[in-house]
Amino acid sequence: MWLFPEILVFTMFMQNCLRSLLLACCFVVTLCAQANDSLKTIRLRDVSVRSVVALRTQPVGQPSVRVSAEELRLNMGHSLMDALSHTEGVQAIDIGVGFSKPMIRGLGFQRIAVTENGVRQEGQQWGADHGLEIDAFHVDSVRVVKGPASVLYGSDAMGGAIEILPPRFPRRDSISGEVLLAHERVSSGLSGSVMLQMKRGRVFARMRYTERHWADYRVPADSFTYLSMRLPILQRRLKNTTGMERSANVLLAYRHGGFQSRVNLSDSYQKSGFFSGAHGVPSVANLQGGGSRWDVELPYSVVNHLKVTSTSTWTTRLLQTSLTLGYQVNHREEWSRFHTHNLEQTPPETDPDKELMFHLQTASGQLQVRLAPSASWQHCWGVSAVMQHNGIGGYGFLIPAYRRDEWGAFYLANYRRSSSLLFNASVRYDMGHIHTRAHGEYVHEVNRRFHDYSMALGVEYMPAEGHQLRGSIGRAFRLPSANELTSNGVHHGAFRHELGDSHLVSEQGWQLDLAYTMRLAGWEVSLSPFCSYYPHFISLHPTGRWSSLPDAGQVYQYVDAATTLAGGEVRVKTRLLGRLNYTLSGEYVYTYDHHSHTATPFSPPATMRNTISWEDSRWQCFVECQSVAAQRRVCHNEDATPGYNLFHAGGSVDFRLRENRLSLIIHARNLFNTSYLNHLNFYRKIDLPEAGADIQTTIRFTF
């Protein structure tokens, strides 16, 4: 195998020699013909040139960013969302170390669709303490779609979408793979991942196995506050925040001519402890040390996500048809010593410490037909269906068992007026049905049907080389979820009694996006303002009354209120000297709830990053200052958060070993061990600071 580059070079050299000889012969023949002063006519056979028109389905004018595998690996934190949070307009709702949820321009939870292999990830998205259950090491590249994306991704993409792109089909037969080892200082975390892939003829196979373990993580604080009580943090480690994650992925692909098919099987298992100060009512006794900092104790959660997807595509010169099918099982359990908010309840005979159980099964399918009759027009039609069934268990109660079905159809058209002007129009119509079961005296049966439409109009204009203008206006909607309609229980960690409203209507909103991009003479400038108005927006509001259940806190109820969001992102990158670059990026989101006359919950503060980087063919490094403004515009019963400045540094270097490569990646976060509060953190409610200084080291060997 190591002789292959030399053979390739020699082959290319011989081909070039033959081409040169042929051209020389043609030149001599031409000169001889001219010298003889004669004219010869040579008739050639008819030549037909066939090409497949590139079919584009991403709406024109809608802002989207593609994040490469190199960027993800260099900025990889404790989860995939930590890496994506470096993208302007994307934030991460943190849940301690290792788990986080996506947020785009101030919208999160069920308003962001995360897709993998063309299938929307379905889990318990409604919970702030529920992660994505996706192996971050298995992700090659990601496309982030900002703004309403309901037309292509369904109603749950009202705020945007994060699309995990599939790996590319190798061009030549080969066997390759990688071994990856990683260490995190702040949690003593150890991670290992092994990948092997093979391409033979028309078949491509890829397998990956990943395992992560982490211990109780460090924070730069000795105590925290719960209901005005100051409680200790022993040895500056959060007790019972240890955990583990195990993931396996298998991909089989087949390609022949214009047909390509992919089948992917993945299974993700997670077990992690809940910090005792963020689950139930904490006390000094249950915060005391004891045992190993690697032991998972009560309370803890166990999650297993099984997913099978299949994508088949038939492509001809003008037509492309694709069929995507998916089946997922998301099983989540939360364990805690038996306690009750109902004085008459007794412990169950089996599994007396199983507090909550959710078992969600999802079957989905989508059929798309894309047509490009000319270089000016492209059309795309599609239909989709999603069927869900969620079962519950445990001695506690938060949401009932339910069944949810969705059916949708959409149409998208692109029109290219010229090489510099492109228009787009798209429309989608969805119907949904949700049926929840009654659950004792807590929840009555709910049987609701919904239907609504979404649309988008976009334009893309390039007035001159290096300049690009984009604009779009769109309408999106989202079906209310089961927890918003029927929840009635204590959400531990959120420190409140959550109450649904079975009369809620679907969320609806309009958004205007503008964008300008310039790439000239070593400069890259992009500016992306947006403004959106939602006449129907579902959010959780405090009612001002205390729950009748003991130790349940205040009652929060889901309400429908008009909401306005506005803001934008800016990015400026320039070359300072040689390979030395400077990047300035920033983002701002303004939210306003017309019902409460406050900001919406979890409104991200303004953020700015100043980064100096050095890029070479074999190595790169960076130093960054992240400045986060104070967030004083908060919702009711939400504390203001002071601003802070963080300093990060990192880099990577590659060592070539013949055809193999050894990479060393180091990422240091919060270099000066700054104590700060993240407004989007699940633990912000108890004044718990973020993790302290952390150095993450990754060794990656590819062969």
* C-alpha pair distances (Å), 432 with each of 228, 326, 449, 450: 45, 19, 6, 5
Q: Is residue 460 part of a domain?
A: yes
pTM check: above 0.85:
yes
Q: Is residue 699 part of a domain?
A: no
What confidence score (pLDDT) does residue 444 get? 86
Would you say residue 559 has pLDDT above 60?
yes
Q: What is the average pLDDT across 434-445?
A: 86
What confidence score (pLDDT) does residue 280 get? 63
Q: What is the DSSP string of 225-290?
A: EETTEEEE-GGGB-TT--EEEEEEEEEEEEEETTEEEEEEEEEEEEEEEPPGGGSSS--TGGGS--
**Residue of 453, 459, 398 lying closest to 425 (CA atoms):** 459
Would you say residue 330 has pLDDT above 60?
yes
Q: Is residue 226 part of a domain?
A: yes
Q: Is residue 12 part of a domain?
A: no
Q: How far is residue 587's CA from residue 608's CA, in Å, rounded to a whole number? A: 7
What confidence score (pLDDT) does residue 292 get? 81
Q: Is residue 196 part of a domain?
A: yes
246, two tokens: 């195990």
Helices (H) and strands (E) in the chain, counts: 5, 34
What confidence score (pLDDT) does residue 227 get? 67
**Residue of 294, 280, 288, 296 lying closest to 234 (CA atoms):** 288
- Torsion angle of the four alpha carbons 638, 640, 643, 646, in this order, in degrees rounded to the nearest 10: -30
SS3 content of the chain, % helix, strand, coil (to 5): 10, 55, 35
Count of alpha carbons within 13 angstroms of residue 467, beta-carbon side? 4
Q: What is the average pLDDT across 312-329?
A: 95
499, two tokens: 């109450």
User: Beta-strand (E) ranges in 172-216?
Assistant: 174-184, 189-200, 203-214
Q: How far is residue 374's CA from residue 356's CA, in Å, rounded to a whole number? A: 56
Q: What is the average pLDDT across 360-376?
A: 95
Q: What CATH number does residue 343 fall under?
A: 2.40.170.20
Q: What is the average pLDDT across 264-289?
A: 80
Place of tokens 């299938």: 119
**Residue of 598, 651, 693 lying closest to 70 (CA atoms):** 651
Would you say residue 18 has pLDDT above 60?
no
Q: In residues, how long is the chain?
A: 703
**Cβ atoms 53, 317 nearer than 8 A:** yes
> What are the phi and psi torsion angles at 419 (to 5°)?
-65, -15
Q: Is residue 572 part of a domain?
A: yes
> What are the phi and psi torsion angles at 167 (to 5°)?
-70, 150
Q: Is residue 4 part of a domain?
A: no
| pLDDT-based confidence at residue 4 (cuts at 50, 70, 90) | very low
What confidence score (pLDDT) does residue 15 get? 43
Would you say residue 378 has pLDDT above 90?
yes
* C-alpha pair distances (Å), 387 with each of 162, 362, 402: 21, 6, 11
Q: How far is residue 435's CA from residue 397's CA, in Å, rounded to a whole number? A: 18
User: Who has greater pLDDT, 31 or 285?
Assistant: 285
Centre a 10 Å sphere on the Cβ of residue 346 and count the other Cβ atoms it contains: 10
> What are the phi and psi torsion angles at 25 (to 5°)?
-65, -45
Look at 153-167, 241-255, 486-500, 635-649 and tell me which has the smallest mean pLDDT. 486-500
Q: What is the DSSP string of 499-537?
A: E--TTPPPEEEEEEEEEEEEEETTEEEEEEEEEEEEEEE
User: Who has greater pLDDT, 206 or 123?
Assistant: 206
Would you say residue 503 has pLDDT above 90?
yes
Q: What is the average pLDDT across 538-561?
A: 81
Q: What is the average pLDDT across 606-631?
A: 94
Q: What is the DSSP string of 427-444?
A: EEEEEEEEEE--BTTTB-
Would you say residue 17 has pLDDT above 80?
no
Look at 44-53, 161-170, 384-393 and tell me which has the smallest mean pLDDT. 44-53
141-154 pLDDT per residue, tens: 999 998 888 888 88
Q: How far is residue 503's CA from residue 406's CA, in Å, rounded to a whole number? A: 19
The neighbouring-strand residues paired with 681 are none
The neighbouring-strand residues paired with 37 are none
Structural domains counted in the chain: 1
In this prediction, what percent of the chain has a pLDDT beyond 70? 88
Q: Is residue 55 part of a domain?
A: no
What confidence score (pLDDT) does residue 243 get? 92
211, two tokens: 């395992």
Task: Give the domain range for residue 194.
Answer: 64-165+173-436+454-693
Q: Which one-letter DSSP state was computed for residue 129?
A: T
What confidence score (pLDDT) does residue 322 get? 96
What confidence score (pLDDT) does residue 14 get? 39
**Residue of 236, 294, 272 lying closest to 99 (CA atoms):** 272
